[in-house]
Amino acid sequence: MTALLAAALLSVSAAAAAPAPRPAPAGPVVSTQALAGLSLSTYTVSTLYTGDRYRDPFLASSAGGARVARRTEGPTQVDIHSLQLHGIMQDSSSAFALFSADDGTTLILRGGRLYDPANKLVPGITGHIWIKRRRADLITADKDVQIYSLGAADGGDEAK
């Protein structure tokens, strides 16, 4: 019995003298062989972003891929009844509505005012944007109102 007791004491003292096991590392373990097989990426902005190859959605499509010339100077007169609503967006500060004219000019309704492609105010035209209704209204100085709705088949000439 003393031999058995001595063996038990010897195993307990050996276990107490052994160092505690190390905790597992927090992140994944990657061997140096796996790291040697990695290479740096050769992608550039031009290879990842290919949007410059697509046509401008606000320009009329034409045969043969010829581009329609876009007016660079602001429109002097804007007929609100000939505009088309293409989109309504909202950022953290305000809402925007994108319109296009028959000649390819893009106009932006922002903060209740209509702006031309040069970001100049179009005189005499104001408007409102209702994002939840997906609707925008343009109003001329003589109180002529044009209502635009996104997704309406008839151009959005519906009553309020």
On whether residue 28 sits in a domain, the answer given is no
Does 21 reside within a domain?
Answer: no
Whether residue 56 is contained in a domain is answered as no
Greater confidence, 24 or 115?
A: 115
Q: Is the pTM of this model over 0.85?
A: no
Determine how β-strand 121-130 pairs with β-strand 145-149: unpaired
Q: Average model confidence (pLDDT) for the chain?
A: 74
113-160 per-position pLDDT tens digit: 999 988 899 999 999 999 999 999 999 999 999 999 987 554 444 444
pLDDT of residue 145: 93
Predicted confidence (pLDDT) per residue in 3-22, tens digit: 655 555 556 555 555 566 66
Of residues 109, 118, 138, the one with CA closest to residue 71: 118
Domain around 131: 78-160
In a domain, 19, yes or no: no
In a domain, 141, yes or no: yes
Distance CA 151, CA 132 (A): 13
What secondary structure does DSSP assign to 98-110, as a single string? EEE-TTS-EEEEE
93-120: pLDDT as tens digits? 899 999 998 888 899 999 999 999 888 9
Q: What radius of gyration, in Å, describes the C-alpha atoms of the chain? A: 35
Does residue 66 lie in a domain region?
Answer: no
In the chain, the number of structural domains is: 1
Work out whether strand 121-130 and strand 135-140 pair parallel, antiparallel, or are unpaired.
antiparallel
Buried b (16+ CB within 10 A) or exposed e, 65-85: eeeeeeeeebbeebebeebeb
In a domain, 44, yes or no: no
Is 151 within the bounds of a domain? yes
